[in-house]
Chain A
Amino acid sequence: MRQINRVAVLGAGVMGATIAAHLANAGLDVLLLDIVPKSLEPQEEAKGLTLESPVVRNRIARNGLQGLAKMKPAPLYSRDYAGLMTVGNFEDDLDKLNSCDWIIEVVVEYMPIKLDLFKKIVPHLAPGAILSTNTSGLSVNEMAEVLPPEVKKNFLVTHFFNPPRYMRLMELVPCAETDPVVMEMMAEFIGKRLGKGIVYAKDTTNFIANRIGVYSIYKSIQHMTEMGMTVEEVDAVAGPASGRAKSAAFRTSDLVGLDVLAHVGTNNYELVPDDEEREVFKLPSFIKKMIENGQLGNKAGQGFYKRGKLDGKKQIFYFDYTSGDYKPLEKPKFASVAAVKQVDDPAKKLKMVVSGADKGAEFAWKSTRDTLIYAFNRIPEIADDVVNVDNAMRWGFNWEIGPFEMLDAIGVKEFVGRAEQDGVAVPAILKEIDSFYRYGQAGQKEYFDLQKKDYVPVPVKEGQIQLEILKKANGVVDKNADASVVDLGDGVFCLEFHSKMNSISGGILAMTHKAVKRAETEGVGLVVANQGSNFSVGANLMMLAVAVAEGAWDDVAMQIKAFQNATMALKYAKVPVVAAPFGMTLGGGAEFCLHSDAINAHAETYMGLVEVGVGLLPGGGGTKEMSIRAIELAAKFKTDVQPFIIKNFQQIAMAKVSMGASELYGMDYMRHGDSITMDIDTLIGDAKQKVLGLAVNYRPKSPAAALPAPGRSIAGAVKSQLWNMKMGNFISDYDELVAGYIVDVMCGGDVASGTLVTEEYLLQLEREYFLKLCGNRKTGERIQHMLKTGKPLRN
């Protein structure tokens, strides 16, 4: 099988450049090519350059590459990775294609141009090289016609979603001649190395996600106008309240661009004449007008929404399609939507919302009803099964659950009954189905195959561990409301958080000790992992807030001691512990990771010790741990500890959060021997493998007994900088105090540098200063503010 090391990206527009960036994220060598400019820029002319100068000829590709640095969110894990990309052009650099293992075409969506490019590059392809197109809607078979048979075998659609780093969906579409082995290889490669979620689509217009997603938006617009609702009212319902993306219908449209939305819709209208809902794809006249007016969405600064000012204050406005004016947001209040705010499970939320009695609920029902029937009717036209459709919508449109999961959530029978009552045509086969998913005897997840008319297992890839399935298959060995210990097999246990937002509660702390004990007595090691939406948002503030509000200091002291005991139990377990963070891994969540033997992080891990935001210091051993890391680094090189302490201190004092796992190495939160997994599906499996690797020759650690304290002079230096920042109004008096406490703990207190201290002593200091902060009114205010608004208070 061909090894893919070097990839060419043809086309350096936003999509091409950001795909190239993500390939560099995966450590691949990337060649980014685009056309030779047809004319000189004035500044090129001024420099005496001509159309023959290499700098001019590579300008378009180079601009694409350089544009990456300014994009938000960042397409690259690290700016350094840009060094893996080289640029060139379609005239001078085609011979370089023969060194590429994979060539991705990302030029303009216009068939003649694509065909011309294919003809031009074919002679330069290495035998067996993969050729793919990133088209979002053009026919792959039509493209294949210009390719020789040996290239057709290796030709397919690899459709990335924008932005490629962050959107998980990858639609793969073969042409008639694509070798199934090639499809399989690319699916594995793109899954494992690029971390994308593979969906198999067919050679149909707009493939899966855009076909259904855009239908859903168009249909919402139709319901909106019929029901006389506003854009804002629709978004209140069409987002997470009904299992959809946070950006709901119209913020998604603004994000994508109204012109793009219109293009996809029109494509569908023109190219799929026998679509039973064809008329829905007709562009509503008010949107046509918006496009003509340049109200294209975020890129134009105005679309369905617009930022502006009202009475001197920042204000967001929505587009009122009846008058053509922008109006200030009115924050519509639907009882049906308010009722599901506290519900986590998207399936439950959807069921509750569509069962509500107000206008919002009516809209939710109608739009969901029509979208689900439309999706159902697309099988087997656009996909072979429901799993591919559900995945496409979750990964490509950020729906919280896919259409068939929605049908299960509402209840298929109930859905059919209600839709028929509405007088809507319900497909006959749908009436015969009980549910689209179920769990089999051994706990395996199965889906209803509409073609086989029977349940078949949902495919599981090698190395993939699904806690949900293990738990259904009697894998739970211990459990409370917030955490479980799950047997991952081979002697490896998993400490799984499942509290609200995975905040670290007393239940999790208690279960940590049980998990360690279990792994020590019955196994070889422990994984700390979960499959929620984030690894952990931090310690449970509510618990602390109550104790602080009541002035129950003994209680606060006990809570913080319990936290430290749990993280220390991980650090000094007799078996290896590997943490598998992903997404938000904040505060206490980060402290759990820092006390593990190793970290196996998902590439998109946003980790940081952010306690200062609530007027606290990391009190679960985090402050102590980052002090010890600095001390150990300095000792290793027999050098001054000050720069290490200052760097680690700054990260805590500024609540720095990594913008991806790669950054964690630079922060010393991850270290040599830790690793990064691109494919979230194999994250726990990879962590398990790491445990097994470490278990072979594991030597348990013992607490540090003679650490040279960094000492009071370093604290003095830091405090003088804090004083200056305060004088410059960059930090508040209280920020200065909190940060001063942090550096006091990290320096080992008011002692001379080199004074020998123990890890236990540092923990004791950490607790002491944590308690001092808890006793301060301003910390209380910060905690209350965070609980109320979810945002830090600067007081």
Chain B
Amino acid sequence: MKKAYILGSYRTPGCRANKGKLRNIRPDDLAAVAITGLLERTGIDPATINDVYLGCSFPEGDQGMNIGRVAAMKARLPDTVPGQTVNRFCSSGLQSIALAAERVMCGFADCIVAGGVESMSSVPMGGMKYSANPDLMVDWPEAYASMGITAELVAEKYGIDRLAMDTFAAASNAKAAAAIEAGTFGDEIIPVEVTNNMLVDGKMKSIKEVVSVDDGVRPGTTVESLAKLRSVFKAGGPVTAGNSSQMTDGAAASLVVSEEYLKKISKDPVARFLAFSANGCPPELMGIGPIAAIPAALKLAGLKQDDLDLIELNEAFAAQALAIINTLGLDPDIINVNGGAIALGHPLGCTGAKLTATLLHEMGRRNLKYGMVSMCIGGGMGAAGIYEKL
């Protein structure tokens, strides 16, 4: 099998859905910004791209019409470059990279743009028309367990209490705030120019702004301030908006290339893609999906858990993140060192690609060897992808 490399990995800022700074930009435009930024930063010839894979959890409405292809056209890639949309809910972005890498490893492609996009301002969780199979609802209603309920059930089953969750959430905000303050994300973020319109005294004003900072972080969040929040998913339950991930708009893209391609353009990759695994679990406990996926991916990569130097573990909920950390015995000190989705947001189908960019940049700064991106997935799944820094 051939080897697959990451030549570059970048992301747009993650901004709060409906309230944040990316609320007025279309998801296809946002994805095009990520693709264009990736190509500028890697400096490759767009005509050499074999395909564009874009992860998206709810690929309909503004994210519909095969956003993978639409975004490629919006980024003005040549019409010879095809595009597809990839969906495995919250792992879609990572799944795109894995699919691209696997195709390269098969020798069927040399250069693929792989990433993800989600504008939760444009298409809400559940999509434009939520549906559930009426027969499944009779004999397996858990199939459609809401994410919040799964977090409550995981908290209950794994004995994660409110204080532990709020402590985890406060730490996430503190780490993210410190990273932003220090400009840590400067290298990985592709700034986005947005235009907002406002009717002022009967005249439509256009206000342009360049957005380059994640806007969902709440500096100064404390365990005490989080303790005041009410349960949202279960009456009296420990899961609150404060210890859950935020709804977010964002896009991210990586360039997945072959060894031959690197030789041809005489460039060094940032990392090698080693392995990916997605595994299923009970849908009502979807948050624990990574408990199966992480060991599976490590096995495919031929690594042990201790070999991992840095981990981006998506914080869908503090409840499930803690359940995974506790169960697998992961080292908390190497997880989400710059904060996680509780602070920085979780743009569903973009998240895997976004976390890859964050992981690889931090590995570069720290000069670490093995890193992992992992997340739980609605419907009862987990995914993990492993990278080796070169």
Contact = CB atoms under 8 A, between A and B. Distances in A.
Interface of A: 640, 642, 712-717, 719-721, 723-724, 727-730, 750
For chain B, the bracket of interface size reads 20 to 34
B137 A720 contact: yes
B236 A713 contact: no
Interface string B121-144: 000000001111111110001001
Given A716-B137, A728-B233, A723 B144 contact: yes
A719 B136 CA distance: 11
B131 A717 contact: yes
Contacts of B130: 717, 721
Nearest to A716: B134
A724 B145 contact: yes
Contact of B134 (A640, A642, A719, A721): A719
Contacts of B132: 713, 716-717, 719-720
Given A716-B134, A720-B141, A640 B129 contact: yes
B148 interface: yes
A724 B152 CA distance: 11
B89 to A, nearest CB: 16
Interface in B195-246: 233-237
A720 B143 CA distance: 9
Q: Does more than half of chain A's interface fall in helix, strand or loop, or is it mixed? A: helix
A720 B284 CA distance: 12
A771 B58 CA distance: 41
A729 B235 contact: yes
A719 B137 contact: yes
Contacts of A717: 130-132
B146 interface: yes
Given A716-B133, A720-B132, 11 more contacts: A712-B134, A713-B131, A714-B131, A716-B136, A724-B145, A727-B149, A728-B234, A728-B237, A729-B236, A729-B237, A750-B134
17 contacts: A713-B133, A716-B132, A716-B135, A717-B132, A719-B134, A719-B141, A720-B141, A720-B144, A723-B145, A727-B149, A728-B148, A728-B152, A728-B234, A728-B235, A729-B234, A729-B235, A730-B235
A610 to B, nearest CB: 22
A492 to B, nearest CB: 46
The 6 closest A-B pairs by CB, nearest first: A716-B134, A720-B132, A720-B144, A728-B234, A729-B235, A724-B146
A701 to B, nearest CB: 31
A640 B128 CA distance: 11
Nearest to B239: A728
Contacts of B148: 724, 728
A730 B234 CA distance: 7
A579 B236 CA distance: 44
A93 B306 CA distance: 74
A640 B127 CA distance: 14
B134 A723 contact: no
A712 to B, nearest CB: 4
B137 A727 contact: no
B323 to A, nearest CB: 18
B134 A715 contact: yes
Contacts of B235: 728-730
Contacts of B149: 724, 727-728
Nearest to B234: A728
A750 B133 CA distance: 12
Contacts of B234: 727-730
Nearest to A711: B134
B128 to A, nearest CB: 9
A729 B152 CA distance: 11
A717 B131 CA distance: 5
Interface in B98-138: 129-137
Nearest to A643: B129
Contacts of B233: 728
Contacts of B135: 716
Contact of B145 (A712, A714, A727): A727
Contact of A723 (B141, B152, B153, B237): B141
A724 B146 CA distance: 6
A489 B12 CA distance: 73
Nearest to A727: B149
B129 A642 contact: yes
Nearest to A731: B235
A712 B144 CA distance: 16
Contacts of A715: 134
A642 B145 CA distance: 20
